[in-house]
């Protein structure tokens, strides 16, 4: 355990921008990406070994695919990647300009569709979108975003959670799992930045009680919210920029957190040298197994 934090560093990865932790129940390992370091990683907590697989471009998120391999959301599009990290096929192109937009946070819905958003890198007034990918192709569902993030589903699949990080806001909307469509979004939680605290909602996961856990980028902590949007607890992380959480371990009661170190000031990195690492803590309420992406049948 780190001083003042319930989290231990389980992998001192020094990732530039660690993201998208995904627990594989079948393999009992944690997959994660380094977006700017351009790697897809397989971390085995039982041995401490991490295998980094080089990617050809920035990789924003991954999800596990039924039958093996990954769907990878990269800068130029969505791709199928095999278990050895070889890019096999492009499923969809990024409809935005890849010079200023890349795919970011993504998650499979409980019916096997892939939801994924983009990041408007120049933050030019909200050019990013949230998309759905299934047999209907890549369809934009929400526009006007700066950084699409925080995708998660309630345990009964009736709510979709979603955040826009630089807007300091988490939204939720009624989700129809039969069709992959949703109602208009409602503002669910809005954080108020201060001069000392620009913590904003990044990647997230929901536990079996329906509580929403979010990393606070530049906020150095993880928050847990009730389904009613009430802040229940906060847990400091030994990194200023935790990026996303995932439940793992045999009982899904280990909370893993990825983090970033890219662009952080020297004094902060001196104080928080494990920034960019993977952290973990035990929790009393487990998460849910991550659904597998079902490749659409043409
Ligand atoms: O690139 C990223 O940056 C954002 C933070 S922000 O958009 O600059 O506020 C981070 O949340 C995101 O996950 C990451 O991919």
CATH 3.40.1110.10 fits 8-282, yes or no: no
Rounded to the nearest angstrom, the distance between the alpha carbon of 104 and the centre of ligand 1 is: 8
Q: How far out from the chain centre does Cα 199 lie?
A: 16
* Cα–Cα distance measured from residue 215 to residue 203, given in angstroms and rounded to the nearest whole number: 6
Cβ–Cβ < 8 Å for 74, 102: yes
Rounded to the nearest angstrom, the distance between the alpha carbon of 151 and the centre of ligand 1 is: 14
Annotated binding site: 19, 102, 104, 149, 202
Please name every residue paired with 149 in a beta bridge, in sequence order, or none if there are none: 163
**Could you state, in order of their start, the residue ranges of all structural domains in the chain?**
8-282
Cβ–Cβ < 8 Å for 128, 101: yes
pTM above 0.90, yes or no: yes
| Mean pLDDT of the chain, nearest integer | 97
Rounded to the nearest angstrom, the distance between the alpha carbon of 226 and the centre of ligand 1 is: 24
Atom index in ligand 1 nearest the CA of residue 200 equals 9
Confidence of residue 236 (pLDDT cuts 50, 70, 90): very high
Segment 118-157, tens digit of pLDDT: 999 999 889 999 999 999 999 999 999 999 999 999 999 9
Q: Which residues line ligand 1 (CB under 6 A)?
A: 17, 19, 35, 104, 119, 147, 149, 165-166, 200, 202, 217, 243
Q: Whose CA is nearest to atom 10 of ligand 1?
A: 202
Annotated binding site for substrate: 102, 104
Rounded to the nearest angstrom, the distance between the alpha carbon of 168 and the centre of ligand 1 is: 11
Q: Give residue for tokens 């197994």.
A: 289
Task: Locate 28 and state its tokens.
Answer: 């009992």
pLDDT at 297: 82
Instruction: Say which of 58, 120, 164, 202 is annotated catalytic.
Output: 202
* Residue 207 is among the residues annotated as catalytic for this protein: no
Atom index in ligand 1 nearest the CA of residue 202 equals 11
Residue 125 backbone zone (phi > 0: left; psi -120 to 50: alpha; other: beta): left
Segment 155-175, tens digit of pLDDT: 999 999 999 999 999 999 999
Cβ–Cβ < 8 Å for 245, 204: yes
Q: Which of 35, 73, 75, 104 to mutate to test the pocket of ligand 1 (most atoms within 8 A of CB)?
A: 104
Rounded to the nearest angstrom, the distance between the alpha carbon of 70 and the centre of ligand 1 is: 22
Order of all β-strands in the sheet with 77-81: 59-64, 70-74, 77-81, 87-93
- pLDDT over 90 (residue 39): yes
216, burial (CB in 10 Å: exposed 0-12, middle 13-18, buried 19+): buried
Atom index in ligand 1 nearest the CA of residue 149 equals 13
* Cα–Cα distance measured from residue 161 to residue 220, given in angstroms and rounded to the nearest whole number: 21
Residue 14 backbone zone (phi > 0: left; psi -120 to 50: alpha; other: beta): left
ipTM over 0.90: yes
């Amino acid at each position: 355990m780190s001083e003042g934090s319930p989290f231990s560093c389980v992998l001192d990865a020094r990732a530039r921008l660690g993201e998208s932790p995904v627990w594989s129940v079948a393999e009992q390992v944690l997959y994660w990406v380094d977006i700017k370091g351009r790697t897809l990683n397989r971390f085995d907590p039982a041995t401490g070994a991490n295998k980094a697989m080089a990617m050809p471009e920035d990789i924003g998120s991954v999800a596990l695919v039924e039958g093996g391999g990954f769907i990878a959301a990269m800068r130029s599009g969505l791709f199928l990647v095999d278990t050895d990290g070889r890019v096999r096929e492009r499923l969809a192109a990024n409809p935005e300009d890849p010079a200023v937009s890349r795919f970011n946070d993504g998650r499979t819905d409980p019916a096997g569709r892939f939801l994924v958003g983009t990041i408007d890198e120049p933050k030019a007034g909200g050019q990013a979108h949230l998309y759905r990918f299934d047999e209907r192709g890549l369809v934009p569902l929400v526009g006007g975003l700066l950084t699409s993030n925080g995708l998660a589903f309630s345990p009964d699949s009736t709510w979709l959670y979603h955040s826009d990080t630089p807007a300091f806001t988490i939204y939720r909307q009624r989700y129809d799992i039969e069709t992959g469509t949703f109602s208009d979004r409602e503002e669910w939680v809005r954080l108020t930045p201060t001069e000392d605290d620009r913590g904003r909602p990044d990647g997230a996961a929901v536990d079996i009680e329906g509580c929403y856990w979010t990393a606070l980028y530049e906020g150095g902590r993880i928050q847990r919210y009730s389904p009613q949007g009430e802040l229940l607890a906060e847990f400091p992380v030994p990194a200023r920029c935790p990026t996303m959480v995932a439940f793992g371990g045999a009982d899904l009661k280990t909370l893993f957190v990825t983090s970033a170190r890219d662009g952080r000031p020297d004094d902060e990195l001196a104080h928080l040298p494990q920034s960019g690492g993977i952290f973990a803590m035990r929790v009393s309420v487990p998460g849910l197994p991550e659904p597998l992406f079902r490749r659409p049948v043409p």
